[in-house]
Amino acid sequence: MVVFTSVNASTEAPPTNRRRRNRRPLSLEQKELCRQRSRVYYMEHKDKVLAKSKARYEFNRDEERARRREIYALKKALKKQKQKAETAPTNDAPSPNVLSIAYILN
């Protein structure tokens, strides 16, 4: 679908209230013709279609793996921070209050 944009499109408000053109649903005969055309194209260009499908699958697989690796790294970093905070030595002995009389007299 090609959308015409005018030169002043950046200054105009975005068309939020515009309704999209309603399309008529395809009849059963039209759907069947489309299916037949697709089958013929697939049979004539089977290698090309399968290669494109395989390339798209590999690309999506790599993207998904990268996304999951990133999530794993974030979770691992959070877990490490939490463990570090838990194992940090806590000073149970209160620090001396320099304004207290006991501190001043000693």
- At 72-102, the pLDDT tens digits run 999 999 999 999 888 866 666 667 787 888 8
User: Contact, 103 vs 96, CB < 8 A?
Assistant: yes
- The pTM for the full model equals 0.41
- What pLDDT shows up at residue 18? 77
Buried (b) or exposed (e) across 26-61, using 16+ Cβ within 10 A? Answer: eeeeeeeeeeeeeeeeeeeeeeeeeeeeeeeeeeee
- What pLDDT shows up at residue 47? 96
- What pLDDT shows up at residue 1? 46
Tens-level pLDDT at each residue, the chain (106 residues) = 455 555 554 555 555 667 888 889 999 999 999 999 999 999 999 999 999 999 999 999 999 999 999 999 999 999 999 998 888 666 666 677 878 888 888 7
- What pLDDT shows up at residue 65? 97
